[in-house]
Amino acid sequence: MTNHDDTREPGPGDRNDTKGLDGQSSPDAAVTEALPVISPSGLPPTAVLPVIEDDGVEEDLDDDYDPEDVPDDFGYDADPDAEDPELDTPDPPTAIHWDLLTPEAAAVEWTALNIWVHWLRKTYAVQASIIPPYWHTHTEIVWELSALHLFFLHCYHPDKDGAGPITWCVAWAAARVRLRELVTIAGTRLDRDRPTRRTYWPGEEAGDEGEEVPITNREAHFKAYVKADIQARREARVRTQEVREHAARDLHKVRSGEGGSHSSDEL
């Protein structure tokens, strides 16, 4: 991913409670160890759902069970607006701009998105023509999947009403059409991948698109790719800081009369 401005600090939308790829909070370690195991139940680790504890309800109904004995409030608080102090519900995630993520925030977001995409493709039996193994190398697919991830968390947030799940289903159906088109244009497949072919306008210099490569170990490639992305963001942050410091020194010289040939008109 290209980083234009990596000065933004991680915010609520970065879901900083998500650990790195090895379960640690360190961004360095986050790209060197194995990925967390996906829950057998299919529930994505990033889903924010409240935990409902067992109140000791009998598994089997008693022979003397009388439906008239059920309390009017069914065990719920009579005031639907009353807050439960024991339920710590996180805020809905905010938008993620991949080009503005710091190295630390990028490590968190890559991990969260990768875990969720694994859950998504397994839960819905998604074909590689919709979500290919090397989706992480194609920025257009990353942005689409990231938007889907955020929308899923929004629809299933505990504060949302019952229309959230069906809203997600409608959005997911439409997204599959867009993803299939993006994957077709990219030319990436189940067993091989190539960089997306860009369209260069007249006057632009065509870049090196790269060659098609076989896919042998997706998870190893993902970790190496994320590690390189984080390193690139760190280098960009250093360059940005150097440019700012240089500009500050030049401005100080101009204001102190040491600007040499610079005139007020040129400024």
Q: Please give the pLDDT value at position 83.
A: 56
**Amino acid present at 124:** Y
Tens digit of pLDDT for each residue in 5-14?
444 444 433 4
pLDDT tens figures, 49-94 = 333 333 443 344 345 534 444 444 433 344 545 555 555 677 888 9
pTM of the complete model:
0.65
Q: What percent of the chain has pLDDT over 70?
A: 63
pLDDT in the model for residue 189: 97
Q: Select, from the ranges 1-5, 69-73, 149-153, the one with the highest average predicted confidence (pLDDT).
A: 149-153
CB 154 within 8 A of CB 93: yes
In 187-262, where does DSSP find H-type helix? Answer: 218-255
Quick check: 246 pLDDT over 50? yes
* Phi-psi group of 67: left, alpha or beta (phi > 0 → left; psi -120 to 50 → alpha; rest → beta): alpha
Whole-number Cα distances in Å, 244 to 99, 173, 238: 19, 46, 10
Residue, of 107 and 72, whose pLDDT is higher: 107
Listed by start position, the domains of the chain span 93-198+213-257
Q: Which of 103, 112, 171, 104 is nearest to 142 (CA)?
A: 112
Q: What is the pLDDT of residues 109-133, one digit of tens each?
A: 999 999 999 999 999 999 999 999 9
Cβ–Cβ under 8 Å, residues 229 and 98: no
pLDDT at 208: 83
Express each pLDDT in 165-185 by its tens digit: 999 999 999 999 999 999 999
Distances (CA, A) of 120 to 22, 43, 113, 131: 21, 9, 10, 9
**With contact defined as beta carbons under 8 Å apart, do 141 and 191 qualify?**
no
The pLDDT score that the predictor gives to residue 258 is 66
Partners of residue 192 on adjacent β-strands: 214
Place of tokens 């955020």: 150
Distance of CA 196 to CAs 8, 108, 203, 210, Å? 28, 25, 20, 9
pLDDT score, position 200: 92
- Residue 263's pLDDT is what? 47
